[in-house]
Amino acid sequence: MAGGQALEASPGRYQRRRDEIDDDDCADVLGIDVRGPDADPFDIPAKRAPVERLRRWRQAALVLNASRRFRYTLDLKKEEEKEQIRRKIRAHAQVIRAALLFKEAGEKQNHDTELPEILPRGFGIGEEQLTVMTRDHNYSALQEYGGVKGLANLLKTNLEKGIHGDEADLSCRANAFGPNRYPRKKGRSFWVFLWEACQDVTLVILIIAAVISLALGIATEGIKEGWYDGTSIAFAVFLVIVVTAVSDYKQSLQFQHLNEEKQNIQVEVIRGGRRIQVSIFDIVVGDIVALKIGDQVPADGVVISGHSLAIDESSMTGESKIVMKDQKSPFLMAGCKVADGFGTMLVTAVGLNTEWGLLMASISEDNNEETPLQVRLNGVATFIGIVGLSVAAIVLVVLFARYFTGHTTNSDGSVQFVKRHMSAKSAIFGSIKMLTVAVTIVVVAVPEGLPLAVTLTLAYSMQKMMADKALVRRLSACETMGSATTICSDKTGTLTLNQMTVVQSIVGEVKLQTAGNVDKLSPTVVSLLLEGIAQNTSGSVFEAQDGSVEVTGSPTEKAILSWGLDLRMKFAEERSRSSIIHVSPFNSEKKRAGVAVVARDSDVHVHWKGAAEIVLSLCTSWLDVDGSTHEMTPDKANQLKKLIEDMAEQSLRCIAFAYRNLDLKDVPSEEQRINWQLPDNELTLIGIIGMKDPCRPEVRDAVELCKKAGVEVRMVTGDNLKTAKAIALECGILDDSEASAQAVIEGRVFRAYDDTERENVAGKIYVMARSSPNDKLLLVKALKKIGHVVAVTGDGTNDAPALHEADIGLSMGIQGTEVAKESSDIIILDDNFSSVVKVVRWGRSVYANIQKFIQFQLTVNVAALVINVIAAVSSGNVPLNAVQGLGPAMLGHQRRPTIGELLWVNLIMDTLGALALATEPPTDQLMRRPPVGRREPLVTNIMWRNLFIQAVFQVAVLLTLNFKGRDLLHLTHDTLDHSSKVKNTLIFNTFVLCQVFNEVNSRKPEELNIFAGVSRNHLFLAVVSITVVMQVIIIEFLGKFTSTVRLNWKLWLVSVVIAFLSWPLAFVGKFIPVPRTELKDLILRCWPKSGESAAQQTQDDRIALSRV
């Protein structure tokens, strides 16, 4: 392996399932479930899950509050409605627009604000005229306005310099023609979340129980004493509802903010003669927008000029058809993508005056999307819920049996139910209280908050990842990134600084070290060289009045133009000396760009620039310093190749310039020029330059960190083999000893292999040079086939298929095109590889945080349920009286039910526990482990060990206190009623404090130091502090409502000491070794089977157990 040995992964941990491998299978494309009926419904692929699979896990889940549980999952019905809306808008765009404008006008009237009609002062055309012309693609109307030039005059736009762009100009245009915004659907208010939280079935039952309890309490004990029971339950339910709603509402606000960030596209416009980047929302009518391959058209408009400008209109028309745009077909629609070429457009309609604006106003953008981890946790919640319901049913049956057979006694020893001597009211009251106990057990046992904990940690992680320069577009990518085993990275801008400078250059046989060397070249050579630099570029040079110069374009273009300026090039003058008649834009396949220009003397020159060895292979001659042309002999070609190799070994990117003359009669007519292929044969070499793009200073450490974390880094670049190898050595991807033919390969070589050969060599490749986007796609597919979880970076339009195919697609925020960004799962905002590594840390953190929360919650579940079953069966009492609801005299009037305390524990376990543990920031320890296997169980053997130790400790302590508490606490001298209350209160207090201490244990399931980094996690400290303060208030001041009594300092000390023991227990427990074999496999080994039925049964068992 390159650069050192990575951490070893367990065999088969990355093994893919059929649905993940066969992404191209037609059944998956059609949304048909290709797997058998016995497949685990709670197992979905990370990307492109079939609709049938998504429906099935919903049907299999045990849910008590569907509106809350499924809130952050994909609304399948809404998705169908969205597609219907799209079709309607395409057919009835103007009807919808009129309705929206009518609605806005009505709202203005309702506010009694009379606004005068805003006329386009200073403009020669109105908003409606522009909208109608653009909507209907009315070419005749455009000609009546004087064509594009006449339209620009009416809009007060200079076609060369754009609009003025000052505040007054922008404000005037926005008032006259509208802003480039659309009314967004408002997010759900807090009251909606409050209402949804109320819909939990168990909480509804408890509210009904509270009302009945209140009525019966007042009827039997009078209003002075009888209102406590019902009110305490109602208040506890209200507290749970409010805390749940607040937590969910805050998550919703975070997702809204992320949606706004995703929609805020940066667009290049020309204002005041300068090319600047502005937000898509700041585009105004009259703006000149520069378009290039991969861009999104930001508004409706017309083409001013363009070269090979091809537009993908499928997002608006629904037809996968590329449309060529020129002066005869100039209309552009907002929301479409530039498929090829480049050009400029004049904006004619924005916001609701475009079909794209209407579409966006009618469709709400949601982050609702279930992730594999979320679905798996629904399976865990369902499994635990079934166990909890079973326990609740057993407890209810036992309680009813003991009550109605006269085995339940009051605190004074008297029998509660005496046949024929008990009133119906008392029997009903007792039955309601027993039913309430069962319901409250279900509240704790069915962890509705477990799947939502994923959403909470994802929302938190996404917000923090924004600060780490990563914008998440697809939720599941966060958790999938934690499983990444390899990263296929671009070189330029990701591993390097993307700050190109020309450091070596040779023209003829002269090395142009300084600008003074240009005097050694003849005027003919200088003229051809500067013409090739100025015309064959997609960049530009802006010269301000104060003499300062601003160069814009891609880093490569900026470097070449800056070099031209060093050679005394006057950009504007050079451009005016000849006219462009055709352009062949650069793309990653051919590695070169060409332009045909006609000079004032009618000479036609075809200029080419591109990858040095590729352009050199097309040359049959070379230009000497005196302007003379010489044949490209084999010796001269080898000399130049050696020069290119020498530059490449210095990690320089080599670019060659060449040209050829063309007779004017050989140039096709303007109508035929669209499909004209510029001649690239018999070229004459002008010169070669070497550009340096330094490695990012932090990239070597980031690559080393990946290796330690078991993540292999591979570089995929378009540069030649020598340059790629030099950069890989500099970045630490390769060691000197490994810079061999196996580790370094050219794209064409890999492309020539068949599928089997590719799979055999893919894992050994660490550098792929001279690769095309299709080579990157082939590499991704091969790596996935051999079991890797692949993350891929990309910035170009042609990278979209690889980004789409990869498990995690990472597009570049600065250099990335909109097509690449839309195909990706995460956008790296600073184009920096170290930010990619931070995403890996956050991905692992998501999984680790969920495991911490599961360990904490299962401990409470196991302890509470075990204690309830043992005590209910043995004595008919629920011993966790203040926790689980009722004490030893649970149905007597001397001891009130304390359902509120159960709900308080549920709050600690559910919402507050998730807040504390699911928002832990990532640690360096996470990057010292191997990647998280996507098929590994959520509850590991280490977690089972920790859980078992804590649960056994809590069960033992609480049962001991329940059965022997009065003796141990020396309460025998007190009355039975009061001593029982003290004992019950102590049990409740001890149980809650055990959870607080265990919450700290759960922070570090595998590490000995559980306090590491705790001071930096302010939210965790806040949650723990609030829990402790609330517990003190409940015990000391709310005894009337919770049927507890105040504890003296000695009993408080007893509770704290018992709870504190969970820390040393956890410390010692971590020295107990655990088997490497998963628990489910150990269990299955205990069930010997034979034959095919055994194998099938084993598979079924594995599916059932894999949920946990």
Which positions are annotated as active-site residues? Answer: 490
* Residue in 487, 483, 484 with CA at minimum distance from that of residue 2: 487
Amino acid at 376: R
- Burial per residue of 948-979, b for 16 or more beta-carbon CB atoms within 10 angstroms, e otherwise: ebbbebbbebbbebbbebbeebebeeeebeeb
Q: Which of 988, 962, 953 is nearest to 863 (CA)?
A: 953
SS3 306: strand
How far is the C-alpha of 706 from the C-alpha of 969, rounded, in Å? 56
DSSP H or E segment with residue 928: none
The single-letter code of the amino acid at 310 is: A
Burial class (CB in 10 A: 0-12, 13-18, 19+), 423: exposed
Please state, in angstroms and rounded to a whole number, the distance separating the CA atoms of residues 688 and 508: 9
Q: How far apart are alpha carbons 312 and 425 in whole angstroms?
A: 75
Cβ atoms < 10 Å from Cβ of 760: 13
Strand partners, 690: 504, 654
> What does the DSSP assignment read for 991-1054?
HHHHHHHHHHHTT-SS-S-TTTTGGG-HHHHHHHHHHHHHHHHHHHH-HHHHT-----HHHHHH
Structure tokens at 376: 């798996």
Number of Cβ atoms within 10 Å of the Cβ of 281: 17
φ/ψ region of 222 (left if φ > 0, alpha if ψ in -120 to 50, else beta) reads: left
Among 348, 356, 354, 357, residue whose Cα is nearest residue 173: 348
Contact 602, 664 (CB under 8 A): yes
Q: Tokens 């506010």 correspond to what residue?
A: 111
CA count, 13 A, side-chain hemisphere, 386: 11
Strands 826-828 and 808-812: parallel
Tell the residue number behind the tokens 């302007």, with chain if given: 627
Contact partners, residue 726, CB within 8 Å, separation at least 6: 648, 649, 650, 651
- Count CA within 13 A, CB hemisphere, residue 959: 18
Closest CA to 403 of 390, 384, 416: 416
**What is the bridge-based pairing of β-strands 288-292 and 300-312?**
unpaired
Give residues with Cβ within 8 angstroms of 240, minimum separation 6: 197, 203, 903, 906, 907, 911
DSSP letter string over 308-365? EEEEE-HHHHS---EEE-BTTB-EE-TT-EEEEEEEEEEEEE-GGGSHHHHHHHHS--
User: 3-state DSSP call for residue 656?
Assistant: strand
SS3 125: coil
Cα 187 from chain centre: 20
**14, 788 Cβ separation under 8 angstroms:** yes
